[in-house]
């Protein structure tokens, strides 16, 4: 099955605002997929529904074949999510943020150790592992969010504007890291409003605006049209 399959997805918020109108998207296993569009286009709403933080109004979402409406527990095992806002426990130590997360997936601390060490080192947070997470800089918190999303070894990583407000140097090192995660076999979907970010990272890109998919093609096809 596809890593992600979205059919006829519509979102009407409680105030009546129609944020998504019948979206279709298919993301193949192994892809690095970008959902590109301006602020307010519906990117976070889409990822919010996929990660079941937001309720959909209509349509179907499958993660590796598992329908999130009927088979959410299975679907969630495949998924690691990096939301835009920091939402970890600021008083927990950096390494404990990861160990707690692994625990949510039934992975005991002693079995999580290797993954915790690997991701903290890969993201330059190893020296900070005993610090409370509130002591980290903004860029470090963002990297901690990424490590947390990966600690249970999900097959699909989704990131909502992962480099928004991040300086150019950190942005480039995050690009390098994410490219390696994809090369190692994980499917990645990210939202961005930076064309250059989609261009640097993504193999396939969908352009969304006002809740509708305007284009959906390989990067090369899309850039050829610009």
Q: Where does this chain bind ligand ADP (CB under 6 A)? A: 13-15, 17, 19, 37, 39-45, 54-55
What tokens appear for 13 in the block? 């918020």
HSE-up (13 A, CA, CB side) for residue 167:
6
Nearer to ligand ADP among residue 19 and residue 123 (C-beta): 19
d(CA 101, CA 33): 25
Cβ density class 101-111: b for 16+ within 10 Å, e for less = bbeeeebeeee
Helix (H, G, I), strand (E, B) or coil at 203: coil
The sign of the torsion formed by the CA atoms of 170, 150, 204, 49 equals: negative
State in angstroms the smallest separation of the CB of 160 from ligand ADP.
7
State in angstroms the smallest separation of the CB of 22 from ligand ADP.
15
Place of tokens 């192994």: 30
State in angstroms the smallest separation of the CB of 45 from ligand ADP.
3
State in angstroms the smallest separation of the CB of 146 from ligand ADP.
18
Nearer to ligand ADP among residue 29 and residue 57 (C-beta): 57
- Residues sharing a CB contact under 8 Å with residue 209, sequence separation 6 or more, in sequence order: 37, 38, 41
Nearer to ligand ADP among residue 4 and residue 140 (C-beta): 4
Nearer to ligand ADP among residue 190 and residue 222 (C-beta): 190
Nearer to ligand ADP among residue 49 and residue 94 (C-beta): 49
Cα distances (angstroms) measured from residue 147 to each of 66, 142, 199: 24, 9, 24
Nearer to ligand ADP among residue 19 and residue 27 (C-beta): 19
State in angstroms the smallest separation of the CB of 42 from ligand ADP.
5
Parallel/antiparallel/unpaired status of strands 187-192 and 156-160: parallel
d(CA 47, CA 77): 16
């Amino acid at each position: 099955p596809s890593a992600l399959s979205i059919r006829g997805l519509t979102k009407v918020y409680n105030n009546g605002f129609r944020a998504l109108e019948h979206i279709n998207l298919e993301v193949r296993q192994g892809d690095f997929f970008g959902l590109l569009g301006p602020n307010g286009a519906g990117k976070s709403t889409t990822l919010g529904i996929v990660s079941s933080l937001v309720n959909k109004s209509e349509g179907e979402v499958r993660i590796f074949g598992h329908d999130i409406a009927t088979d959410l527990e299975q679907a969630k095992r495949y998924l690691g999510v990096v939301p835009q806002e920091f939402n970890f426990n600021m008083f927990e130590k950096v390494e404990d943020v990861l160990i707690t997360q692994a625990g949510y997936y039934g992975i005991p601390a002693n079995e999580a150790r290797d993954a915790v060490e690997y991701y903290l080192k890969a993201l330059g947070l190893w020296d900070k592992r005993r610090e409370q997470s509130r002591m980290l800089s903004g860029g470090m918190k963002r990297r901690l969010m990424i490590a947390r999303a990966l600690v249970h070894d999900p097959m699909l990583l989704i990131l909502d504007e992962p480099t928004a407000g991040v300086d150019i140097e950190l942005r480039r090192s995050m690009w390098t890291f994410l490219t390696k995660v994809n090369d190692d076999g994980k499917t990645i979907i990210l939202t961005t409003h930076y064309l250059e970010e989609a261009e640097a990272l993504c193999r396939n890109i969908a352009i969304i605006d006002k809740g509708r998919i305007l284009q959906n093609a390989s990067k090369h096809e899309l850039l050829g049209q610009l």
